[in-house]
Amino acid sequence: MTEEIQVDDHGKLKCSIDYTLNKVGGKWKLVILWHVTFDGTQRYNELRRLLPGITHKMLSQQLKELEQDGLVVRTQYNEMPPRVEYSVSEKGLTLKPVLEAMHLWGTEQGGLAGE
């Protein structure tokens, strides 16, 4: 299969894997999606807690991109102090198979436990 490789005008590869990586590639996005998908709606600071090592800037940046791509939903409550919640969108839920496959692989390959 896949004998025909799709290439655009600039010579860039256009395979579906590539497309997916462009949307959710990088160090953080899939982990963020994992949490909002399986742990449910999270506040901004809760996400910080869940993602040790992430910086302020990275988190807000990645969240903004995920929101712009329609993968997460941002809900702001105009209270004092402010409260903002992030949840997975319908579209974001379509990534569940990807998340589950990666979770399963990481688990089976010994990613967790006393290593």
Partner DNA sequence: CTGTATCCCCCTTGATACTG
Partner DNA sequence: CAGTATCAAGGGGGATACAG
Contact footprint for DNA (CB under 7 A): 26-27, 43-46, 53-58, 60-61, 63-64, 74, 76, 81-84, 86
CA dist 68 → 12, 31, 71, 83, 109 (Å): 23, 17, 8, 20, 33
Determine contact, residues 73/80, Cβ cutoff 8 Å. no
Q: Residue 5 or residue 80: which is nearer to a second copy going by CB?
A: 5
Contacting range for a second copy; rule: CB under 8 A; set: 55-63, 80-88, 90-98: 90-98
- 84 in contact with a second copy (CB under 8 A): no
Which of 88, 89, 92, 86 has its CA nearest to residue 43? 86
Applying CB under 8 A, which of residues 9, 14, 81, 83 lies at the interface with a second copy?
A: 14
Residues paired with residue 73 on neighbouring β-strands, in sequence order = 87
Q: What is the nearest approach in angstroms of a second copy to the Cβ of residue 69?
A: 9
Which of the choices a second copy, DNA, none does residue 20 contact, using the CB cut-off of 5 to 8 A by kind? a second copy
